[in-house]
Amino acid sequence: MSNLTPEKSAALAAALVRLRAETLAKIEAATGIRAPNLSVWLRGKQQVLSEQRAVTVLDHLGVHGTRLRTDVLHSWRIRGGLDDLKTVLGLLLDDMQRKGTTLYRDNSNALRVVRLLRIPQGDQQVLVWVTVEPGLAAAADLMAEDLGFGSTVISSEPLSELPQDMAELEKALDRLHEPCDVSDIPSFSSLSDEVSELFVPGFTSNEPATWEVSEMDRLHAELMRVLGAGVTPEQIVTMLAKNFP
In the chain, domain spans: 1-65, 68-162
How far is Cα 180 from Cα 226, in angstroms, rounded to an integer? 8
Query: Taking each helix axis from N to C terminus, what angle separates 6-20 and 35-42, rounded to the nearest 10 degrees?
Result: 110
How far is Cα 223 from Cα 79, in angstroms, rounded to an integer? 35
Cα separation values, 20 from 13, 26, 75, Å? 10, 11, 6
For residue 111, give the H/E element and its range.
none
How far is Cα 6 from Cα 56, in angstroms, rounded to an integer? 14
Note the CATH number of domain 1-65.
1.10.260
Could you read off the pLDDT tens digit of each residue along the chain, which spans 245 residues? 447 888 999 999 999 999 999 999 999 999 999 999 999 999 988 778 899 999 999 999 999 989 999 999 999 999 878 999 999 999 999 999 999 999 999 988 777 889 999 999 999 999 999 999 876 555 568 889 889 999 999 888 899 899 999 999 999 999 888 765 555 555 545 544 444 444 444 444 454 544 455 677 677 777 777 777 677 777 777 677 666 65
How far is Cα 24 from Cα 43, in angstroms, rounded to an integer? 13
Q: Say if CB 156 and CB 237 are below 8 A apart.
A: no
